[in-house]
Structure 1
């Protein structure tokens, strides 16, 4: 498979964006990748290979588009008259918007603005990285490596349209680390469920109050909503705690290594498809969902595979705005001597990634599949639990040689339970998250680095080992379900309202 480097276009393209010329073209290139992936998957139709280019037909405007590369499409050009014309990122956004208006009959002013915001965020992140050394800890480096991010989303790095100075200090992609803010919330207003004792270890609250950590960006965004509570004493500032806490790839979830705990906060910012607020209905369902996953993995014959969401604490007068969720750390869960790595980081690439340095792609991939696939299929087939096993919810731990030895999944908010959803819908979601979003990306990244290596026979063998009634049909199907993030966002569908289109299955050709 060919590999296309994200090289900036000529410098004369840079002036349109007002960025540092050294980063502007590279920001265009990074931001174009996921947007092009969406356009080519959901709208365009392949026409032919033309040397180093792939040519596609855009049916809405009856135009031809060509790109270099496959997994990371680059250098988009549109055919006008008898010549190809290069598109910068702003031109690509305009082309996509016009194509979608023609295709759907709908206008959407919000999404193009998010696409431009996502590209400008990448430029800010590139500039920040140039001033900051990457973290030494390989786990943190994997979580904070995602400059491209979601490979099939039109605006994966959008940060709500605000100035970069407001969010950049808290951006994982800029290698941020900062202490959490500590609040005291009046005891008679506290709402909590589950085990929240880890919060009390962060500091000491004055009499009549309970500790409530907060994300600094969260407090800034919710300032007007909380002003009255600070004024009348329902909330008090208690300083900071957990120095050295850092944001994971999810942006609103911090890892506090000194306390070995993850803290997930509300942020009133749209990141990918959703406003990242801890919604009341999700919090109220949390204990049931997390308990179901824990029960499933208590019977799993393998290493621990779940980082549980223990409980939440908030204030009744600002239930969603101040909510904080407590997630398990690694103690007692991570195999001794193993190093956890974010699967999304493995797919995107980071310095020291074992995927990039392995000399035995077949052995590495077989070990990876043996870790990542069984827990997901066990939970579904034996317990009716549908894990959201996509790249950002999967940690793969490796041994001292970089060989995968364990997979750990996270995020009860994304878990679905049967029969709350039908078995058919649950299986479709599982296949999308595990196979299309997750395994396909890792497989492609591995194949890019090892010419001639075919990762799909090993996937077929691993799936065939499991007694799940749906697997024979999956292996025989010519297609896989692919989520349509571009069309979902353009048509204003709810972020949780997944819709799929058929994608040619690499399993069928194995």
Structure 2
């Protein structure tokens, strides 16, 4: 059967990709069982309508593939219809007042932007000369998260802006600079590092503060900024310097020749949140950097010399009442030839261009080594587990720090043949300090977890590790292998069980606390999973409110047991 993602019309590709995402989300978040045959039937009680879809690949990991989607008795369905029906059904019977209009609008916006990305990438499938492996991986997410209803929605960004700001279109732009009076600026080790960037000169007694150009245009209309500009405590200096490239997160920007990457505030709704840096997140990045320098980094390197955490050692921000004019400085260790790839980009579909980069890599290994793609997929996965997954589990067990190591936050290092040999984690938002271990961290860095609001109950840290590392990262990778037809998922589940059992034994022998995720995956019939569709239906922002209640979690079957 022809893959509908290879349709000649980019708009048709984008609509179909969005429908697949919606169906995957609905299946996972409402525990729809595997159909007996090759046709999925979803009875929607709120509307009395049944959706049907041809199943071309059923994935225990969640990365299902479909053919035609229909409204039973009426014929082929379009995206707007499917989105409206599922949004209505998602709020049905919840006892809450839920409007699906915003969700439907964002689904359609995501699909419209995706169509532009597909068209642009088909027109220029090859990376421009000078693109580093790291940047290539960051620009590879054409369709986005396969289990999110609005992976490419950018509410508030005009089309012309998207062409400059979108990594999918290989955009680039100069920073927009402000000069801020020293008395309204806070920082942590930032000023010396900022001087390494090619910003404009500022008046004596003022500090140069960079901003994303979209954010700058939005800021100058906010009342607090208007007042600061009037008083002269803030001066708009305009754009300056060499162009920077947006990475997969859109607001973290990279330049191959710069010693740092910059994580900027961007007041757009991207996936589940408005992406403006919170002060506690700025503090958290510097705090984790100090913890790493105080001994945890050396501890990681002694056990896993090819795994590390990218440091966010410094930040600079204009104080309240101004919000959204701030910057995190992140280490940039990636040279022109360093083969570090964002895992999300590695497994991402490339509609109408060719197989995923993961499939291309396995195909190349198969030709070179004269081995089957299935055997190579199992070995590649096992090596990935040792290089990337086990170090994250060990960090949690040894030091009580859980990471949001989902695909976009995880970088895998490849050798010259394409085998995983190392990994990196990045994200100053995604740390959880286990309450039972905070005393150990406090002895390394006084006050750890307090101002940064990083300390959580152990059960919350365990749940988040289980989702981000276990479901999003590991099961997502297994789903990427399976949906590309490289190997039966059951073979990778067996490999995962073996890896988790070996990790458990090694950590037990070493006297470490084994993360609850390990036993949960090995023995529990169910797993706790973030529900991206339901989180969007209820209008939740994952950066607002207590950590334990920032998103909807549901219980799903454990594919290692079922």
The interval holding the TM-score normalised by the smaller chain is: 0.7 to 0.9
Other structure's SS at 1:262 match:
strand
Aligned equivalents of 2:408 and 2:515: distance in 1? 27
Q: CA deviation at 1:287?
A: 3.0
Instruction: Indicate the RMSD between aligned Cα atoms, in angstroms.
Output: 2.7
Conservation of the 8 A alpha-carbon contact between 1:337 and 1:400: no
- Say which of 393, 400, 403 aligns to 2:416: 400
**Do the aligned partners of residues 47 and 390 (structure 1) sit closer, same or farther apart at CA in structure 2, a change above 3 Å counting?**
closer
Q: CA deviation at 1:319?
A: 4.6
More deviation in 359-368 or 236-245? Answer: 236-245
**In the comparison of the two structures, how many residue pairs are matched?**
490
Aligned equivalents of 1:508 and 1:291: distance in 2? 40
Structure 2 unaligned residues grouped into runs of 5+? 367-375, 436-454, 508-513, 544-549
* 1:94 alignment partner in structure 2: 84
Aligned equivalents of 1:44 and 1:91: distance in 2? 22
Other structure's SS at 1:224 match:
coil
Deviations 1:395-422 (A, max 9, x none): 0010111111111001121211111222
**Do the aligned partners of residues 189 and 452 (structure 1) sit closer, same or farther apart at CA in structure 2, a change above 3 Å counting?**
closer
**Do the aligned partners of residues 72 and 223 (structure 1) sit closer, same or farther apart at CA in structure 2, a change above 3 Å counting?**
farther
Deviations 1:362-415 (A, max 9, x none): 221111111111221122111111100101100001011111111100112121
Conservation of the 8 A alpha-carbon contact between 2:44 and 2:85: no
**Do the aligned partners of residues 242 and 480 (structure 1) sit closer, same or farther apart at CA in structure 2, a change above 3 Å counting?**
farther
TM-score (norm 2): 0.80
Alignment of 1:235-314 (within 5 A): 235-238=234-237, 240-241=239-240, 243-292=242-291, 295-300=295-300, 301-302=303-304, 303-314=306-317
Aligned equivalents of 1:260 and 1:84: distance in 2? 58
Aligned equivalents of 1:63 and 1:45: distance in 2? 16
Deviations 1:264-301 (A, max 9, x none): 11111111111111123333444334434554332121
Structure 1 unaligned residues grouped into runs of 5+? 10-21
* 2:370 alignment partner in structure 1: none
**Do the aligned partners of residues 379 and 47 (structure 1) sit closer, same or farther apart at CA in structure 2, a change above 3 Å counting?**
closer
**Do the aligned partners of residues 261 and 241 (structure 1) sit closer, same or farther apart at CA in structure 2, a change above 3 Å counting?**
farther
- Say which of 188, 194, 205 aligns to 2:201: 205
Aligned equivalents of 1:379 and 1:279: distance in 2? 25
* 2:432 alignment partner in structure 1: 416
Q: CA deviation at 1:47?
A: 6.2
**Is it true that 1:45 corresponds to 2:32 in the alignment?**
yes
More deviation in 441-450 or 406-415? Answer: 441-450
Aligned equivalents of 2:2 and 2:205: distance in 1? 60
Deviations 1:20-54 (A, max 9, x none): xx322122112223222212212362362433x33
Q: CA deviation at 1:126?
A: 3.0
**Is it true that 1:129 corresponds to 2:135 in the alignment?**
no
TM-score (norm 1): 0.88
Aligned equivalents of 1:389 and 1:396: distance in 2? 12
* 2:179 alignment partner in structure 1: 184
**Is it true that 1:356 corresponds to 2:360 in the alignment?**
yes
* 1:229 alignment partner in structure 2: 228
Aligned equivalents of 1:58 and 1:34: distance in 2? 17
* 2:373 alignment partner in structure 1: none
* 1:107 alignment partner in structure 2: 98
**Do the aligned partners of residues 338 and 127 (structure 1) sit closer, same or farther apart at CA in structure 2, a change above 3 Å counting?**
closer
Conservation of the 8 A alpha-carbon contact between 1:179 and 1:244: yes
Aligned equivalents of 1:188 and 1:149: distance in 2? 41
Other structure's SS at 1:305 match:
strand
Conservation of the 8 A alpha-carbon contact between 1:193 and 1:311: yes
Alignment of 1:399-478 (within 5 A): 399-419=415-435, 420-447=455-482, 448-452=484-488, 454-466=491-503, 467=507, 468=514, 470=516, 471-478=518-525
Q: CA deviation at 1:240?
A: 4.3
